[in-house]
Amino acid sequence: MSAAAAPLGFAAAGAPNTIAGLAVSFLPMLMAAASFFRGFGNDPEGRVKDVKKIYKYYDFVVVGAGSAGAVVANRLSEVEDWRVLLLEAGGDETDLSDIPVIAAFLQLTDIDWKFKTEPQPTACLGFQGRRCNWPRGKVLGGSSVLNYMLYVRGNRRDYDSWAAMGNEGWDYNSVLPYFLKSEDNRNPYLAATPYHGTGGPLTVQEAPWRSPLATAFVQAGEEIGYENRDGNGEFQSGFMIAQGTLRRASRCSTAKAFIRPVRHRKNFHVSMHSYAHKILIDPHTKRAYGVEFQKKDKIYVVYATKEVILSAGSVNTPHLLMLSGIGPAEHLREMNIPLIHDAPVGNNLQDHIAAGWMTFLIDQPVSMVQSRFENLPSILRYQLFSSGPLSVPGGVEGLAWVKTKFENQTDDYPDIEFHFVSGTPASDGGAQVRWIHGQSERTWNEYFAPISFRDTWSVVPMLLRPRSNGYIRLRSDSPYDKPIIIPNYLVDDQDVKVLVEGVKIGLALAETQAFKKFGTKFYAKPFPGCEHLPLWTDDYWACCTRHYSSTIYHPAGTAKMGPKWDKTAVVDPQLRVYGIQGLRVIDASIMPNVVSGNTNAPTIMIGEKGSDLIKEYWLNGDYKR
C-alpha cells in the first residue's frame, strides 16, 4: 500500500512512499463507494455507539470484544437483570473491513495490534529481521475483522482428546451443539445436514463468485484420490470450496453477528478505545473484583460484582494476567510485579505454521491479479450485485485436508491443511502482501518481483498439529509495552518433515489434468538462501519452508485448560482461573492443543460454551455451594 492511502489509515508499515499503478487510487475509490452505498441502508445491523456514562459497578466486565468476547457479552446480556460491560481497546469496524478480498490491507493498520515475534533461529528466515508479523484485531470483532473469514471447526478427535485430558464436557459431541447454535449457514446443501445450523447470528456461506482455478483445485484433489466433501461435516479429509463468515458477500465479523443486533439492550454497555491495564485482584482473598483501564487519557476503575471475563486473545490474555500478578513467579519477580498466584501463564503457545512460498505459473488470464479487480466496474458489480472477485475471502478459494506418510491412512485425521489461493505474493506487484508477511528485500527482489502481476496460483500447506511450542512473556511492567512472543517455530524437526511431505502433495496437484489445462508450471527459480542445496530434495524443500514460514494467525494455548491435577493448566474445565475467584478466561488461549484447522470458528464456540457455563453457575445456584 502507498502513503497516498495514509489519510485513510491504511498505509502498510515499511511500504515505499509511492507504488505505481492502480494500487494508489484503488483504496480511496473503494472507500468512497462503500460509504456511498452504506448511506443507502446497506448496513442494516447498525453501528455500535460508545457508552457515554460508565457505571461504577457491573455484574460482569468482559475484557476484549473479539471472536469470543463479543459472543460472551451478547449471551450474558440476554439475562435482563445482569449489567454487562464490554471493554475494547480499539474502535468500530471500518467500511473497508467489510470487503472480503482486501483482508490483507487491514493488517498493519490502526485496527491491528501489529505484534511481531522475536527473531527466530529456525523459521521466518526470509523475513525482515527473521521475525514474523503477528496481526491481531484491535477493533470490535477482534481478529474476526482482520482474518480471512474461513469457517473451519477442526477435527472431531481434537475435542475428544481435550476431554481425554480430563476436560469434561469438551468432547466433540458436547461442543458440536455450540457450533450449530451460532451458525446460520446459507448454502442449502450444507444447511440440510446435521453438521450445520441455520438461524444463528453468524452467517456462513461460500463466496458468490469463484475463479476457474477454484474448481480446478477441487478437481485436482479428486484426481489424486481425495473426495470433494464438507471439511466441517462427518469427515474432514478431502477438498472443498472454502466456507466463510460471509453475509451478502461481505465480512460477517463477530461484531456484526453478536454485538450490533443487541446494541440497544439497556443492560449492555460497550466501551471502545478502552485500554485495559490490569485485572484488580484482592491479594488476601484472591478474588478478582474489577478492571483498571484507560480511555481518552483518563484512568477508570470498574467493579464486577460477579465475574471478570478475560477474552483478550492468546497474546493479550496472558499479557494481562501477568500484569495483574498471575503468572510464572520468577518472571513476575524479574518484572517487579507483586505475585498473587504462581501459574504457567504464557506457556504452551501453539500456532499453525505454513510453507508460504509455493508458486505456480499459468498461461491463461484466470487468476486474481490485483490490477484486474482494481477498477470501477468491479466495485459496482460488488456493491450492486454482491458478486465478483471482491467477494472472495482474502483470495482464498479452496481448502483441503490431506494425510502425509506420517499419518495412518485409514484414519480421518489429516496432518496438513491446504489453503488454495488463486494468486501469490507477486499478484499485487509488491503493493501489500510482501509487507504484511514482512518479506526481506532479498526475498522480494530475487524471487517474487520477477513475476509481478503474472498469472499464478499457490497452495499453502499448513501444519495442523505442531510439536514445537513457545511462550509469551512480559517485556516490562508497562501495559503499553508489547509482550515478548517466542513461538519456537519448527524447533522440532518432525514439524519440518511433515511440512515437506505437504509440499510434495502440493506439487502433485500441479501435475493433474485439472491444472495442466491452464498451462501450470512450478516456478522453478531457486529460493533465496537455499541455492546451496541440491534442488528438489527434502533438504531444499525444508530450507524453503524455514525461509518462508508463514503464520496462519492461529495462536492458542497460552492459558491452558486442564483438570486440577494438571500442573500446566491455567484454567479449569469451567474456564475459571486456578487460584483466583471471580475470574474466567474465555478465548483461544484456553485450548489445551490447537485444533486441526483454522481457529476462528472454534473460538466462537468457546465463547458460546463459556457463556453457558457462567449462566449455569449463577442461575442454577452453583455459586452457593
- The C-alpha cell of 555 is what? 495462536
Q: Which of 3, 22, 21, 24 is nearest to 12 (CA)?
A: 3
Is 503 annotated for ligand binding?
no
Question: Looking at this protein, which amino acid is placed at residue 600?
Answer: N
**Is 554 part of the annotated catalytic residue set?**
yes
Question: Looking at this protein, which amino acid is placed at residue 580?
Answer: I
Give the bridge partners for 239, in sequence order: 228, 400
Q: How many C-alpha atoms does 517 have within 13 Å on its Cβ side? A: 10
- Grid look-up 516456478 returns 523
Helix axes 212-223, 493-509, angle to 10 degrees: 110
Instruction: Report yes or no: 63 and 108 within 8 Å, Cβ to Cβ.
Output: no
- Distance between CA atoms of residues 350 and 247, nearest Å: 30
Q: Is 166 exposed, middle or buried (0-12, 13-18, 19+ CB in 10 A)?
A: middle
SS (H, E, C) 397-427: EEEEEECCCCCCCCCCCCCEEEEEECCCCCC
Q: Is 450 exposed, middle or buried (0-12, 13-18, 19+ CB in 10 A)?
A: exposed
Instruction: Report yes or no: 398 and 218 within 8 Å, Cβ to Cβ.
Output: yes
E strands present in 29-99: 57-63, 84-87
Q: Which of 49, 88, 112, 65 is nearest to 604 (CA)?
A: 65
- The C-alpha cell of 367 is what? 487468476
- Quickly count helices (H) and strands (E) in the chain: 17, 26
The helix (run of H) or strand (run of E) holding residue 508 is helix 493-509
- Distance between CA atoms of residues 474 and 382, nearest Å: 44
Q: Which of 196, 419, 547, 554 is catalytic?
A: 554
- Distance between CA atoms of residues 237 and 222, nearest Å: 12
Q: How many C-alpha atoms does 41 have within 13 Å on its Cβ side? A: 0
Residue set of the binding site for FAD: 139
Residue set of the binding site: 139
**What positions carry a catalytic annotation?**
554
